[in-house]
Every structure is written in structure tokens, then in C-alpha cells.
Amino acid sequence: MASVASASLTLGAGGGTRISAPRWVWVLVPLLALAGIFFYPLFFIVKQSLTGDAGPPTLAHYAALLSSSFFHAALLRTIQIAVLSTIGCLALGFVLALIVSFVPFPGVRLFSGFIDTILAFPSFLIALSFTFLYGSAGAFNFIFMDLLHTTQPPIDFVYTKWGVILAEVTFYTPFVMRPLLAAFSQLDTALIEVASSLGARPFRIIREIIFPEAVPAMLAGGSLCLLLTLNEFGIVLFIGAKGVVTLPMVIYGKAIQEFDYTAGCVAAVVNIALSVGLYSLYRYVLSRTGGGRASVL
């Protein structure tokens, strides 16, 4: 029982100094740090959303924001962009991971390294590069306007929700590819060879052998994508798409631009609830579909 109730820490190479303390002490320290850094501000956000600047707790602030059509549109737009971006990331990530893993080509290592580099970029950089490439005065429009002898830019999707989605797909696809590449590296090539010898053509092998093995990794990568795109702020802000307002933009607009902290906190709480709900769903789905194999993430 003593070993359960207490734990000791030995300092120094010779084991000269021993600190013996109850086990809960070792849990308490990180818990306090977490509370100070995360739960305390969270508590104040929730408190502000309920009480406003002063007064007793009430749900009136929630009712006011949640009933506004502006908020409904932002919520729907957030979910729509996140879902479409995640689908795009899954599709593109699966195809690219397949090519990298099973269709060896010169420069595959360089390509793989480039994917890791994208993971290290800040997300707004992608939005910025999109503006330079596909924006009204971007490189592609400049070339096409010259070729087509027109004054109107022919590429005109960047400042719409599709521009945001494309930028998010570009930025977040590596988050799907990484676990997929790890899963494919674990896949026994004998499965593919045997399937092929049994008469299965490449598409059937992808559909019936490779894809089922990739599902846990896709769930892991896809869920991460969904969570990240749901909370994406930098790309939406830098693209500056007209009429594309997402929840993080609502929070920013209310709290920073309009100084309406209460409404900003209400939107933040809704955003947090959405993220936590999705994360819980992800854990549940993962536990039902062989989550152990998704630990590659």
C-alpha cells in the first residue's frame, strides 16, 4: 500500500538525496500549473459569458447571440468550411500517401521532407501565398490576363469560401498524410501481392485491402483536421474572403473590434463546446474502430 500512497524522487548520481512525498503531491503540481494556465482563463470566459460586465448569472447573453441570424450563418459557415476542408484533406492526403508509399518515384524523399516542412509553416503563410498566386493581382491572373487579353482577372475564387477551403486543404493535408504514411509503412506488402495474385486489379486492392487498413489513420488525421479547421483563424483572416465569417472571426470581431467582450465570450464558449463535442465523438468513433492502430499520430 505504501508504494501506492507515496512515491519518491532520487536526486544525484549517487542517489544521495531522496525526496519522499505522497503520490497525490506529484499529481497536484502539474494540475495546478494547468489550472493557472488554462482553467483559470477558461473559467473567466464562462463567467463573463454568463454575467456580462456585472450582474447575476443569466443565459440572456446566450439567448441574444444564439438567436441572431448572423451567428447562425457564422456557425453553419464554420462547420461547412471545416467539413469540406477535412474531406478535401482526406481525399488528397490518401492519394498522395498512396503515391508516396506504393509508387516509388525519384525525389520521393524530398517530397516527404517537403510535407514535413509545410507542417512547420504558420497557416497564414499559405493564405498569403494563395493571394500572391491566385489573387486579383496574383501571378496566375497576371499571366492569364496577358494571354487572354482581358482586363478582368479570370481566376476569381480566392476571396470566396472556396479560397479558404483550398488554402486549408493545402495547409492541413500533411496532417492526414503523416499518420497515413506511418500506417502504410506498417502494411504488409504480402497482402497486396497475394491480392494481386488472386486476380485483384489495383483499384480493388486500394478499395478492399489498403483502404480498410488506412481507416484508423484517416480517422485520426481527419479528426485532427476537423478540429483544427474548425478553429482556424489565420487563413480566414488573411484571405479576407467577402462574407466568409467563421466562429473564430465572430469572437475576434466581437471582443477586439466591437469591444463586446460578453458576446465574444459567448461565441468562444460555443466554439469550445463544439470542439470538445467533436473531440469526444472522435474518441468514441476511434474506440469503436480500432483506435489502437491510430496511435501512429
Partner 1 sequence: MLGAELGRNVAASDTPREASARRQPGIRFESVTVAYGHTVALEDFSLDIEPGEVMALLGPSGSGKTTALRAVAGFVTPARGRIFLGDTDVTQMPPFRRGIGMVVQQYALFPHMRVEQNVGFGLRAGGAPRGEIAARVREWLQLVGMGAYAARYPQELSGGQQQRVAIARALAIRPKVLLLDEPLSALDAQLRSGMLNEIARLHRELPDVTILYVTHDQIEALTLADRIAVMNESKLVDVGSAQSLYQQPPSRFTATFVGNANLLAVTIVEFDYARQQARVRLGPRMLQVAASAAAHPGETRMLCIRPHALSLEPHAAGANTIEGTVTDVQWRGSAHRLYLDVDGAELCVDSKPLRAPPPRGQRVSLHFAPHDATLLAAPDGPSAGGRRAEPPGDRL
CB of 283 vs partner 1, minimal distance in Å: 21
- Nearer to partner 1 by Cβ, of 193 and 258: the residue is 193
Task: Please give the Cα distance from 284 to 223 (Å, whole number).
Answer: 11
R_g of the chain, CA atoms, integer Å: 25
Q: What is the largest CA-CA distance in the chain?
A: 84
Q: Which is nearer to partner 1, 107 or 212 (CB)?
A: 212
Smallest distance from the beta carbon of 108 to partner 1, in angstroms?
16
| Cα gap 65→46, rounded to integer Å | 15
Cα 278 to Cα 86: distance, rounded to the nearest angstrom: 13
Shortest distance (Å) from residue 198 CB to partner 1: 3
- Among the listed residues 115, 79, 120, the one whose alpha carbon sits nearest the alpha carbon of residue 227: 79
Least Cβ distance, residue 216 to partner 1 (angstroms): 11
At 70, the amino acid letter reads F
Q: How far is the CB of 143 from partner 1 (least distance, A)?
A: 41
CB of 178 to partner 1, least distance (A): 22
Indicate the residue among 30 and 212 with the shorter CB distance to partner 1. Answer: 212
Query: Closest distance between partner 1 and the C-beta of residue 186, in Å?
Result: 11
Task: Give the residue ranges of DSSP H helices in the chain.
Answer: 2-5, 23-34, 40-51, 60-66, 69-102, 108-120, 123-134, 139-148, 161-186, 189-197, 202-205, 211-230, 234-239, 247-252, 261-288
What is the rounded distance in angstroms from the CA atom of residue 198 to the CA atom of residue 50? 64
Closer of 212 and 243 to partner 1 (Cβ):
212
Question: Rounded to whole angstroms, what are the CA distances from 291 to 61, 205, 274?
Answer: 39, 23, 22
| Nearer of residues 89 and 286 to partner 1, judged by Cβ | 286
SS3 at position 168: helix
Which residue, 56 or 199, is less far from partner 1 as judged by CB? 199
Closer by beta carbon to partner 1, 116 or else 193: 193
By CB under 8 A, name the binding residues for partner 1: 188, 190-191, 193-201, 204, 208-209, 212-213
